[in-house]
Amino acid sequence: MSDIIQIQNLSKHFGNIVGVNDVTLDINEGEFVTILGPSGCGKSTLLRMIAGFEQPTQGHIFLDEKDVTNTPANKREVNMVFQDYALFPHLKVGANVGYGLKVNGVNKSDRQQPIIDALNLVGLSDKIDNMPHELSGGQRQRVALARALVRRPKVLLLDEPLSALDANLREQMQVELRHLHKKVGLTFIMVTHDQTEAMVMSQRVVVMKEGQIAQMGTPSDLYDHPANSYVANFIGTTNLFSSTATKTSSNQININYFGQPLQIAANDKILTSGTEQIFGFRPEKAVLVHDHRQATNGLQGKVKEVLYQGLAARILINVGAGEIAIDQMLSETKENARLPSEGDQVTIEIDPHKIMAFEQGHIT
Amino acid sequence: MTTTTTLFSRIFSTDGAFKAVATSVLAFLYAPIIVLVMFSFSDSRSLSWPIKGLTFDWYLKLFQNEDLLEAIGNSFYVASCSTLLTLIIGVPAALALNRYNFFGKSLFRKLVLLPIALPGIITGISMLNLFKVVGFNLSLETVIIGHATALIAIIVTQVFARLERLPKSLDEASADLGASGLQTFLFVTLPNIKTSVIGAGLLSFTLSFDEIPVTFFLTGRDNTLPMYIWSTMRRGITPEINAVGTLILCLSAILIIISVLMLRDKNQ
């Protein structure tokens, strides 16, 4: 597969503030990529540079092997779906969708069919003569999609496309956007701060932090092998703690969780020089054992809270000065019988292979 | 409306008192106008009450008075040209204020608004001085320039206010879909500010049409309608003037109603 977009050492400075810092990223043709990060991480700026609304301070953007770094927005073969949809309030739905064709010199009669095709794609061909203000939020979103797709851009950019919708509609649109991506076969680049949305919809996720890429990979890559504690904490939940690692005579590696000893399986990320580093494990990778003498790699603690969630329960446990979250699946046979209650003394068992080692650092 | 009514009725304790106050305020505002309109149909030359008979003579006479007709023509010329001039300068100024950040922008905004707050007499005297220094002869054209300076503030504020309510993403969406800057202006910006431009234009027109102080200082031999009326008034009010007043009143009312409708934000 060829790269439809190549971003090379791209930076954007706003005065003294660095919005995007030396980002290099290749995006394959036909891929659905999501740029994920908290507000202010530079994800929108990156998208706006691809669209041509912001001029990079440094670096290059290639679209289909052509350098478009200095090409104005109206000459780039990318189209954008805006966060507020940006539908032209004075134009009917049909004219909104056909706008891109009109300004590019397509005759009125030749515009009709592509407009209908684009609206069919999003299931709104019956609204062609409505004004934007007569539509619901979800319908406006679809019109914005149809308008951006009508000229079949090389890349479709989506800037927080679902953030203005309510929860139910958002879930429905997540699925619809995935289907639409399959149907049109174009490259989609979406920006969002919602990790669930990113995981559900995209083939590849680029996690950003302070203007830089913290990690990129498939959703399962990011979840199972987070490159650093930031990603581990941003994608899903991770019980993070800091410790030094020591190697025993029998080649075991020992760490500790707020004073209690733990073993970790050998791993090339473990620093054995006695420096403090960050470790972590996912809530579902730890289990509660009721007889602490049977625990092989256990931590003792006291249950702080039990949060019932239907499919599973999240149990918050105080261990020393730390707090550990574990998820216990609730199968039909076991019912809730084995859920502990608040104040219970419990033992948590963790497989040494499920503990992840991250960068050097300290967590209080 | 209801909340104001309840508030007032609480203050004045009864509905009757409130109605009396409201009526007297309206009477204070509109009684002179009603008297003017009535006297324009009176068949007596003296302005005496009650009116004895009705006539359209004053309206007929009005259309035979060459000086008066010329003054009306001049007023239309001045009001149209100064409105056009303010639109040509004011709309791009509003766009620049909305679109670009430049050094001294907030000062520029305040300076543009200043002429509306300045007494016309100050504008008149200062422009008169300026024209003398530059060596312009006073004419209707100098009046047009004088009116335009004060009226630009109206256009800029109204158009700017509308532009501020337009999401910036509309411009970006237009460019994103391949439109040039000119296309974006013609197909997106202009249609969305059109009503505010027309509304502010009509308001400028009416203000220029009945303007006296600036005109007084800046006109040459030619008279505009308010100047003509003012000069004939020194010989006493004639029923003819009442007829002109009534006609102007109707015209202004129509223009003001249209401009208010245009300036109203449809979304609210």
For residues B162 and B179, give the distance between their C-alpha atoms in angstroms, rounded to a whole number: 22
Domain B68-263 has CATH 1.10.3720.10: yes
Distance of CA B98 to the CA centre of its chain: 24
The per-residue pLDDT for B109 is 79
**Rounded average pLDDT over B248-254:** 85
Does the beta-carbon distance from B174 to A99 stay under 8 Å? yes
For residues A150 and A118, give the distance between their C-alpha atoms in angstroms, rounded to a whole number: 6
For residues A351 and A128, give the distance between their C-alpha atoms in angstroms, rounded to a whole number: 58
For residues A279 and A359, give the distance between their C-alpha atoms in angstroms, rounded to a whole number: 8
What is the average pLDDT value for chain B, to the nearest integer?
Answer: 83
**Rounded average pLDDT over A332-343:** 69
The tens digit of pLDDT for each residue in A265-306 reads 888 888 877 789 999 999 999 888 876 666 778 898 999 999
Smallest CA–CA distance from B182 into chain A, residue: A103
Amino acid sitting at position B143: V
Tell me how crowded residue A106 is: count the other CB atoms within 10 A of its CB: 15
The tens digit of pLDDT for each residue in A99-116 reads 999 999 999 999 999 999
Residues of A in contact with B163 (CB under 8 A): none
CATH 3.40.50.300 in chain A, residue ranges: 3-234
Phi, psi of A78 (to 5 degrees): -125, 150
Distances (CA, A) of A282 to A150, A209, A290: 44, 21, 20
Does the beta-carbon distance from B177 to A89 stay under 8 Å? no
Write the CB contacts of A290 (distance below 8 Å, at least 6 apart in sequence).
Answer: A338, A346, A347
Q: Between 2.40.50.100, 3.30.360.10, 3.10.620.30, 2.40.110.10, what CATH number should domain A239-360 receive?
A: 2.40.50.100
CATH topology of domain A3-234: Rossmann fold (3.40.50)
Residues of B in contact with A78 (CB under 8 A): 176
Does the beta-carbon distance from A88 to B169 stay under 8 Å? no
Does the pLDDT value for residue A124 go beyond 50?
Answer: yes
The per-residue pLDDT for B11 is 57
Residue with the two structure tokens 């209908």: A116
Beta pairing partners, A13: A18
Interface of B with A in 163-222 (CB under 8 A): 167, 169-170, 172-180, 183, 187-188, 191-192
DSSP letters for B125-173: HHHHHHHHHHTPPPSHHHHHHHHHHHHHHHHHHHHHHHHHHS-THHHHH
